Every structure is written in structure tokens, then in C-alpha cells.
A and B are shown apart, each in its own frame.
Chain A
Amino acid sequence: MTLTFLIHQSKAFWRSTNTGKSVAMRVVMGILILYLLLNVLVVAFFLDRILSRTNPEQDILYSFNSYILYYFLMDLLFRFQMQELPTLSVRPYLHLRIKKNQLINYLSITSLWTTFNLTPVLLSLPLLIKIVIPQHGHAQFWSLLVSIIGLTLSNHFFSLWIKRKVNLNAIWMLIFFGTLILLASLDFYFKLFSISTVSSVLFKIVLAEPLYCLLFSLLALVAYIINYRYLKSNLYLEELHTADNSHKSSTEIPYLNRFGKSGDLVANELKLILRNKRPRSVVTMSLMFMFYGLIFYTNPTFSGYSRIIFCGMFMTGIFIINYGQFMFSWQSAHFDGILVSKVSAMDFFRSKFLLFTFFSSICFLLTVPYVYFGWKILIVHFIMFIWNLGVNTLLVLYFANQNYRRIDLSKSSTFNWEGVGASQWILSIPLLLAPFVIYFPLDLLGYPEVGLALIAVIGMIFIISREFWINKLVKRFQEKRYLIAEGFRNK
């Protein structure tokens, strides 16, 4: 039966209308994953040396053991963010003569195929072979390996379970993150106990008594059963679809009223973002980007304005870039409705600018605390904010006019390549390069401040002449709208 499902899945993939594109996407993805795995292998191969460098006074195996639990806690966090729930559209099978556990087993087994499950083994295997076998023997080697696999699988099924729980009720997310934060703060801040000590003691026991590794296998089994039972009792159409039947409020956003029709459109688009999974996760991802500066600004080896230009552009413009690159695909499901309704293309475009301004301003305000690292940073951020509003908004909307790909709003966004096409890649080139093309020549001549001023002036010019550019965009949109609408109708 599992095989039949697999065949159906592959048919669904190959016979979908945009197979050619998604194959290309997958090849790119595959290369990317291979590259990452290669990195993992390199780290794995030198893990013993890395550990002896970082903790020179400790036994290598001891430090390895003490990191295991940390690793799996981090792993859990990343899985929670990125791991995809296995999806077989079960709808066409539910009413047929197929036992539920066949469906669930399929869902569980296919879910195992993820890099998250491969990395722990790859990462630890060379060290286990190099250190554990000569020092302790084969039984200890196997017991550690089985423990690590056991923990991997427990993490795997646990994160599937918790993600499904979160899908139905967001309170589980709070509980999950709350527990993790509590653990981390107890360890690092209050120093009540140390996860690393627990970890090293635990695996010392496993090394001493190899059979204890079965405990971890048991843990994995428990996680599997919890996930299994949860799926079994929830494999109903209505619950898989939307379990959230609470009353949806229809409150309006009062402030937007003063912008007329484009204000109404923005209100709708805000609802689009808040009520659909994929745009919502784009926005949360954008918020995560607000920490981007911490990587660069805390590191003294980067100097000069260029890093601030880069960070500033990303932090204040992340919404424009992340959300804007998929315009107008977000509205693909009701694009026909927009075209026939009494919304003029002008208002449509104005609403996009309004939305961008709204979110960019929020982002700019959120990055104000970086002033801690110097006033220059705040000024450059502001310049890049202007640049984003003036230039990048136009750039993104120009490319939106040639984006014909439909997007399903209800799917999550991590590793979701639906709606990704050439235009997104091409878009990133001018987006990344343009400010530096202006800045670098002047920097080389010794006038970096003039370069910054020029960026600001150009940004302002584009903001002031916006109406003119909107007219150009509208004209192009009128030519392209049939193609866009046709692409969006293509499910």
C-alpha cells in the first residue's frame, strides 16, 4: 500500500502543470543540500580535533558526550522551524477501503526522509569510529550509535506531533518555546543545573552499560506511538482542514480608512497576511531578521559603511523583499475577482506602496535600538529605509508584473518553492547590487559620506517622483494582466 501511495505521489509530482520548473528547482535544492551535507562531513571528520581545541583540558569523548543533549535541543528548535509535515493529500483515500493505519504509516515513514535525521549520524559516526572503538570497544560504539539514532527519531516524531498540535492551537507553541527558554535560562542564567553535566553523566552510563541505549530506543518508540495515536484520532477531513471554528471577528482597521480605496485594499491584504499560513510565516521570518545586525555589529572585524548599508537595507526592507518578491501571487486565488471588481489598477498599486511603507516603517522603528552600536548606524539605517521605500518598492513591483505563478496560501513557507521562479532570482541581483554600485566608487575615491548621501538623494528622488513611476507600472500591468491572470488560474 505504501508503495501505491508513493507511486501516486510521484505521479502527482510529474503530472503537475509546472513540473519542468519544479524539477529545476529540486535540482538546485539538491545541490544546495549536498553542499550542506559536505560541510557536515568536513566538520564530522575533524570533530575530534575541534573538540580538543575548544576544550583542551578535557577528554574528547567527555566533551562530545556533554554536547549531545545541547545538540538535540537545538535540533528540536530547528525542526520546529523548518521540518515539513509529510503531506499526502489524504482526502481521496479516506473513504476507500484503506485502513487508517496504512495511511498513518505512510505519513510516518515518508516523513523520515529528511536531512535532519541524517545529520546527527553523519556528524558523530567518524568520531565514534576514531575514538570509541579503539578506546572502549565495539559494544560501546554500537550503544552510543543506537542512543543517538534513538534521540534523533524521538526528536523527529516529537516535533511532528508538536507541530500538528501547534497547527490546531497556538498555545502549544507558547508551551514549547516556554519550556525551551526555561531550560536554557535555568542552565545559563540561573546556573541551577547544567545540561552539559547531565548529558555527560547520561552517556557515561551508556558507555559503562551498553544495554542502557535501549532506553533511547524506547523513547523513540513512545514518541512514535504518541504521534501515531494523535494522527489516528485526528484523521478526519474537518479536523485536517480547519479545526479552528472560533468566531472570526470582522473588525476593521480604522486608521486605514483615510487612504480611501487603497486603504481598503491594504486592510484586506493585512487580513491576507494574518489569516494565511504562508504569508504569516514570511512576516515572522522578517521579524527574525531584525536580529541580523547583531551578527555584524558585534563583530569588530567588519568595518566601514558597507556592512551597515547591507544590514540596513535588509533589516528595514526585509518585508519588501520577502513579501514583495511573490507579488501578486499572494492574491492569485482571487485575482480574477480583483480584475473584474471596481478596483482601478492605480489604486491597486498605490495600496502596495502603502503596505510597504507601513511594514518598512515598523522595521525601521524596530532597528532603532542598534543605535547602541553608534549613531552612524542609525543614520545609515534611515538612509537605507529611504532607499527601500524609493527604489526597492519600485523594483519589486516591476518584477511583480512578470510573475505568473500561483501560490497556495495555506502551506507553510519553509523550503516551499511554490511560486519561486526566475523572476525572484533575477530580482535579487539589482536588489543586492544597486546601492553598492553607487557607494563603492565614491568610497574608493575616499568620499564614503558622499556615497551615502547620494543613496539618500536617489531614494528621495524616487519617492517624490513615485506617481510617475506608478503610471509606468500601471501601463505595464495593463499589458501583462491577461498573462498574470491566466498563470494564476493554473492550479
Chain B
Amino acid sequence: MIGISNLKKQYNGVTVVNIPELTIKRGETIGLVGNNGAGKTTLFRMMLDLIRPDSGEVLSDEKNVAESESWKDYTASYLDEGFLIDYLTPEEYFHFIGGLHNKSKVQVDSELPAFADFFNGEILKKGKYIRDLSKGNQTKVGVAACMIQNPQILMLDEPFANIDPSTQIRLKNMVKDISKEKHITTIISSHDLNHVTDVCERILLMEKGKIIKDIATNSNTLQELEQYFSVLS
């Protein structure tokens, strides 16, 4: 589904991402971990064609994301609040996003109740603009907007940060469910090792722009990761 080759990005002489080879198969759930500055967000941005790589390419469905726009049809992502149109109400935003994927307002409205638990009554029909929501609630809007797009690829950058524990668990279940039911490819970055090992089948550990570990999740993975991070500190 996604292929990366010779991907490199430097800022002021410092290499922030350097990935010679990476293949992500359809339906995989990938967890991206690594300390701050390891290059997770930069990698995401290059996969979404927001940053031009110094060299190399990202292929989505065999097509270079920088050249073709077709990946936008099946890729949903939420990296930060810069993805939200903050002067819209959440409903307006969902309608807009739904509209881009040829869903009518009524269709979108009929899908929203499914998020009732996830939203915990704080998003819909509050009459607030997105800019007036808390950061956690903004994350919820961003994640829900991803789900509305019925994606085949889902990319979330630190979705567990800023949201409350019960929503974290709901989000985890939501991601698990859709990746199982709809067989979608999911890439999630997180600092929460528990969550990430719980949701993801495959963990990529980044350090200074490189993927230094590529592990299929098993019962020992959490321990292995904890060990890596504690040694570093």
C-alpha cells in the first residue's frame, strides 16, 4: 500500500529523516514511536506531501504522492489543529469534509450519532466554533473527520495526547474495530507505549530520523520498548 525508498530530509545540515526502505502492506496497523525530534511528524508530513523530501519518494498505491493527487481520495489524516478549519462549527466542518467525499449533509448527519460516546456530548450541537474548543476536543473533531472520509489509509499523529483516559480507550477500540472490519491501513504515532502496543500489529521505532527497530507486536514488545526508552534516559 505504501512504499518508501531512500527518503531523506535535512534541516540546516541535520538529518531529520533518513529511511532507505520501508513497505507497509494493506491492512497493517503501524505504531510509530520515538522520542521528540526523532522525525515522526516530518515523516508523516512527507507521506502526506506537505514537505518536499530532499531525496527519495513515498509511493502510495504505487504512485508517488508528490506527483499524483489520487492518494487524497483514500487517505485520511490528522496531525495537528492546522488541519482543522477553526472558524467553522464542528458540524459545518464534518459536512464540508463529507461533501468532499460526495456525502450529502443528511448522510453525514446520520453517521455522526455513532460518535456520540467518543464525543462525550462536548462537540455536537454546542454552537461553538472549532477554535473555541479545547485541544483535546479539537483532536476528537479531527479524528472523527478522518472516520467520515471512509479511508483506506488512516494517519494520526499522537492522537492520544490531550484527550481524557476514557476517550483514549474509546479511540483505541474505534481504531481497532475499523482496521479489523474495513481492513484499512493505519499509522499512528504515540508516546504512550501501552496504547500503541495494544492497537498496533507492527511497531516502528525511530531515532534521529532512522527506523532502528521494526517489530511485529507480541507479548514482549512493550517490555522491549520500555527497556529501550529507559536506557536512553
Contact = CB atoms under 8 A, between A and B. Distances in A.
A344 B51 CA distance: 17
Contacts of B72: 340-342
A337 B129 contact: no
Contact of B49 (A337, A339, A342, A344): A339
A404 to B, nearest CB: 14
Contacts of B132: 241-242
Interface in A261-286: 261, 264, 268, 271-272, 275-276
Nearest to B132: A242
B82 A336 contact: yes
Interface string B16-42: 000000000000000000000000000
Nearest to B129: A248
A271 B101 contact: no
Contact of B129 (A261, A275, A344): A275
A338 B94 CA distance: 14
B88 interface: yes
A246 B126 CA distance: 10
A51 to B, nearest CB: 50
Contacts of B86: 333-334
B48 interface: yes
A164 interface: no
Interface stretch (B73-81, B114-122, B194-202, B205-213): B73-81
Interface in A377-417: 409
A11 interface: no
Contacts of A486: 51
Contacts of B4: none
B84 interface: yes
Contacts of A489: 82
B87 A246 contact: no
A336 B142 CA distance: 13
B85 A337 contact: yes
Nearest to A482: B52
A248 B51 contact: no
A242 B149 CA distance: 31
A104 interface: no
B100 interface: yes
| Chain A binding surface, main DSSP class | helix
A272 B84 CA distance: 13
Nearest to A274: B87
Interface in A314-355: 333-337, 339-345
Interface in A442-488: 482, 485-486
Contacts of A345: 69
Contact of B82 (A242, A333, A342, A482): A333
B87 A276 contact: yes
Nearest to A343: B100
Nearest to A483: B52
Given A242-B132, A334-B82, A340 B88 contact: no
A164 to B, nearest CB: 19
Contacts of A250: 89, 91-92, 95
A256 to B, nearest CB: 11
B52 A337 contact: no
A319 to B, nearest CB: 19
A241 B95 CA distance: 27
A89 to B, nearest CB: 16
Nearest to A341: B100
Name the residue in A249, A409, A482 with the highest tally of chain B Cβ atoms < 10 Å from its Cβ: A482
A342 B73 contact: yes
A246 B100 contact: no
B128 interface: yes
A194 B17 CA distance: 75
A340 B89 contact: no
Nearest to B74: A342
Contacts of A247: 127
B161 interface: no
B229 interface: no
A249 B86 CA distance: 15
Interface in B86-135: 86-89, 91-92, 95-97, 99-101, 105, 127-129, 132
A272 B73 CA distance: 25
Contacts of B127: 245-249
A407 to B, nearest CB: 13
Given A247-B127, A250-B92, A275-B129, A482 B50 contact: yes
Contacts of A339: 48-50
Given A246-B127, A248-B127, A275-B129, A334 B84 contact: yes
Given A242-B132, A250-B92, A344 B69 contact: yes
Interface centre among B82, B83, B86 (most CB of A within 10 A): B82
B51 A268 contact: no
Contacts of B129: 248, 275
B205 to A, nearest CB: 25
Nearest to A332: B82
The winner among B83, B87, B97, B128 for most chain A CB atoms within 10 A is B87
Among all A-B residue pairs, the 4 with the closest Cβ atoms: A247-B127, A337-B83, A342-B100, A482-B52
9 contacts: A242-B132, A250-B95, A268-B88, A271-B87, A275-B87, A275-B129, A340-B72, A341-B97, A341-B100
Interface of A: 241-242, 245-250, 252, 261, 264, 268, 271-272, 275-276, 333-337, 339-345, 409, 482, 485-486, 489
Given A340-B48, A340-B49, A340-B75, 17 more contacts: A248-B128, A250-B91, A250-B92, A261-B99, A264-B99, A268-B88, A271-B92, A272-B87, A336-B82, A337-B84, A339-B48, A339-B49, A340-B50, A341-B72, A341-B97, A409-B87, A485-B51
